[in-house]
Amino acid sequence: MYNSFRLLPVAALLSLGAVTATPVATPPAQAQQCPTYEDGLVDGQDHKANLAATYGAGTPDYEQALNTAIANARYNARNAECPTYWRGYVQGLSN
- For residue 32, pLDDT beyond 80: no
Q: HEC string of 35-82? A: CCHHHHHHHHHHHHHHHHHHHCCCCHHHHHHHHHHHHHHHHHHHHCCC
pLDDT at 2: 58
The answer to pTM > 0.75 is no
Q: Who contacts 73 (Cβ-Cβ below 8 Å, separation ≥6)?
A: 44, 86, 89, 90, 93
pLDDT tens-digit map of 57-83 = 999 999 999 999 999 999 999 999 999
Cα(1)–Cα(20) distance, rounded to whole angstroms?
31
Domain ranges of the chain: 35-95
